[in-house]
Amino acid sequence: MPAVARVLTQLGNMPVREFLARYWQRRPALIRRALPGFASPFTAETLFELSLRDEVESRLIDRARGRWRLRHGPLPRAAIPSRKRAGWTLLVQGVDLHLQAGADLLARFRFLPDARLDDLMVSYASDGGGVGPHVDSYDVLLLQAYGKRRWSIQRKPDPACVPGLPLRQLARFVPQREWVLEPGDLLYLPPGVAHDGVAVGECITCSIGFRTPAWADLAAACNELQENNDSRTTPRDEAIVPSSHPARVTARMVEQAQQALQRRRPTRTQIAQALLQQASEPKPRVVFEPPARAMAPARFADALQLRGARSDRRTRMLYWDRILAVNGELVPLLQTEQRRVLKIFADRRTLHAQRKLPAALLSLLYEWYSAGWIHLQ
């Protein structure tokens, strides 16, 4: 049974509360020894092995003879350069989805909401390796895991990019600050801050990325929820008269359209439902693994109430008020006690053994168990 990772309350000598109040989405922060004594749970070979797998998203970025090259995984083993060769890097996305050590590390940053935490990217770089100066549209925490990396930043960069490259690199990057990070050091960058990280010798860097809601997708999801509950009415023409201007749209038609759109404004509940669905949606490459030999429902109920359960590390479970969503699906209406149990499950990612769980809740948990979303302890 995996141990539950302890959420950080301090980043080095700085309380998390102070970090959020002073720096989060405001300005960059370098925190030396943010995780004192931190040793990388990942090796270069582990990352190389992950990059060979179909279900793992990875990129190999190489700068040979002054020319940038990008190759997407899965990679053949022969494509990975020698570690002695300078100027290349391997980036592996979603390490938290594939390695328990990755899930445990990401869980330490759950002082931020799960709806905002995206994934853990881990990169290996040979001496001089990096991806060039660039800008991210989301917050990022850069934790040095092994070796050293030199970071340069620019607060308000020129957005123009170098044409003809396979990467979005800034054409006129002018560094304003520069640091060399060592294991356990953490660099926080808000959205829009340009940065360039270059390995000083071999190094491994962990990048904790954050989701930002896609507002257009959220609006579409709200619209879909309304479509499911829409009682369609056909607009009626009132006091229509012969027109001498057939190409003209009448004021009445504009008024009817305005009234229809005003009626279709999503409610607070519909917005919350759409947001929960979007924020709990797993990554496209995520595949859950149902149990090889699933228990019968009655046996599962006995085992659950005796042993408890835990979320699969790929499961995303979120809630707001009375609404819950798991892996992009809204949970059917539940009674107060059932909601209470599931909210605790979502926050702790574990469900302790307890007697007398309601039959409806046992049935729901059995569905999740059968789908591989949760596991018995």
Closest CA to 115 of 323, 341, 334: 323
Task: State the pLDDT at residue 1.
Answer: 45
- Tokens at residue 157, please? 């960069």
End-to-end C-alpha distance for the chain, whole angstroms: 6
Res 184 pLDDT > 50: yes
3-class secondary structure per residue, 273-289 = HHHHHHHHCCCCCCCCC
Domains and CATH numbers, the chain: 10-210 (2.60.120.650), 297-376 (3.40.366.30)
- DSSP letter, residue 327: T
Please give the residue that has the higher pLDDT: either 249 or 231: 249
Task: State the pLDDT at residue 99.
Answer: 97
Of 34-48, 170-184, 234-248, the one with minimum mean pLDDT is 234-248
Question: How many whole angstroms separate alpha carbon 133 and alpha carbon 115?
Answer: 28
Instruction: Look up tokens 């959020």; give the residue.
Output: 20
Average pLDDT over residues 137-163: 97
Burial class for 156, CB neighbours closer than 10 Å (0-12, 13-18, 19+): exposed
Average pLDDT over residues 275-293: 93
Residue 302: in which H helix or E strand, if any?
Answer: helix 297-307
- Tokens at residue 292, please? 């090889």
Average pLDDT over residues 294-308: 95
Average pLDDT over residues 197-201: 98
Q: Which percentage of the chain shows pLDDT scores above 70?
A: 93
Task: State the pLDDT at residue 226.
Answer: 66
Cβ atoms of 51 and 93 within 8 Å: the answer is no
Task: State the pLDDT at residue 314.
Answer: 96
Res 156 pLDDT > 60: yes
Res 341 pLDDT > 70: yes
Of 148-157, 175-184, 203-212, the one with minimum mean pLDDT is 203-212
